[in-house]
Amino acid sequence: MKNKRNTKIALIGGGSACATAAIQLVRSGNEVILIAKEIGGTIKNANLIENLIGFPEGIKGGEFVNLIKTQLLNNKIPYISEFVESVEHEESKYIIKTPQSEIQAEYLIVGTGSIPKRLEVKGEEEAFEKKRLFYDIYNGKKFTTKKTILIIGSGDVAYDYAMNLRVTAGSISIIQRTSMTKSLPLLQKRVEKEKKIRIVKNREPIEIITEEDKVILLTKMENKIFPIEADIILVAIGREPNIKFLSKELKAEYDEALEGSKLYFVGDAKKGNYRQVSIAMGDGMKTAMEIDKRLSLEEDTDGTHS
């Protein structure tokens, strides 16, 4: 039997977007419930956040997550620490189901961030199951000490992972599928200075072979196969919005919002959004203010405010 709860506004996601929205809504006197398996989102993977005003020396991703947790606690935000299995819309209510709970809400904010894209190559699933391959450094870092690491990707995340591991790992190779590097020039320069990190370009991963004491990444260049041995593989080739738990109806609304809808997407879950913590926080704040304004208009119309 699931625990049933009702609220005016439900927020799904524990990152900076939903945290900002929840705090602002509570400050405005609104009833909310925040639902997330854990607080922090993908920002916990960040080696150093350097473009967030207020932190002139930068701040580690893990330290920033701890600040979010403290601020949610200080503002007494109602929080359900569970993952969401499904969300449906029935009779003007959003029905959110978790393994233990069922929450009904009139308004819904989805800030569930993004999920990593997969290589889609033979042997990938086996390597993942045997903890030889990871998609987030947060989950894989404890396995990397003094190990040979392959990081597949060419963007900011791949280069940030390399800098994150440069002290503890044995050696690091960034495997780029093309000759183009998409990372910030600042990160590229930092990586180039690290003797422990090498960059391998124009190598297309085609298969992963997991053996007892190593993993072998088979790559292709100009129709030739090049095997690369390592202990651990990190995949950082991009991400996509995490909305798989939404009903078919709500997924359709993600692609084309309905007039008068009370469903909002914020942060990395937002269609076409840029993945930056400052943008996520702005999304959360703007959405909270929009909902509060709508509720105030409802109150003016019917004389009530739930």
How far apart are the C-alpha atoms of 13 and 21, rounded to whole Å? 11
Q: Maximum CA pair distance of the chain?
A: 73
pLDDT at 185 over 90: yes
Answer with the residue of higher pLDDT: 292 or 141: 292
**What's the predicted TM-score (pTM) here?**
0.83
Asked which of 2-6, 43-47, 256-260, 299-303 is least confident by mean pLDDT, the reply is 299-303
Among positive and negative, which fits the CA dihedral 35, 87, 243, 110? negative
Mean pLDDT, residues 260-281 taken together: 88
**What residues contact residue 194 under an 8 Å CB cut-off, 6+ apart?**
162, 163, 166, 172
Domains of the chain, with CATH numbers? 3-115+239-302 (3.50.50.60), 118-235 (3.50.50.60)
What is the model's pLDDT at position 45? 82
269 neighbors 112 (Cβ within 8 angstroms): yes
pLDDT confidence bin for 272, thresholds 50/70/90: low
pLDDT in tens, 26-48: 999 999 999 999 999 888 888 88
Asked which of 60-74, 112-126, 256-270, 291-305 is least confident by mean pLDDT, the reply is 291-305
The distance from CA 276 to its chain's CA centroid, rounded to whole angstroms, is 11
**What residues contact residue 93 under an 8 Å CB cut-off, 6+ apart?**
104, 105, 106
Mean pLDDT, residues 172-191 taken together: 96
33 neighbors 80 (Cβ within 8 angstroms): yes
217 neighbors 175 (Cβ within 8 angstroms): yes
pLDDT confidence bin for 273, thresholds 50/70/90: low
pLDDT at 306 over 60: no
pLDDT at 63 over 90: yes
Helix residue ranges, H only, the chain: 16-27, 61-74, 124-129, 137-140, 156-165, 185-192, 248-255, 277-302
pLDDT at 134 over 50: yes
Share of the chain above pLDDT 70, in %: 97
Alpha carbon separation from 201 to 150, 216, 284 (Å, rounded): 13, 17, 38
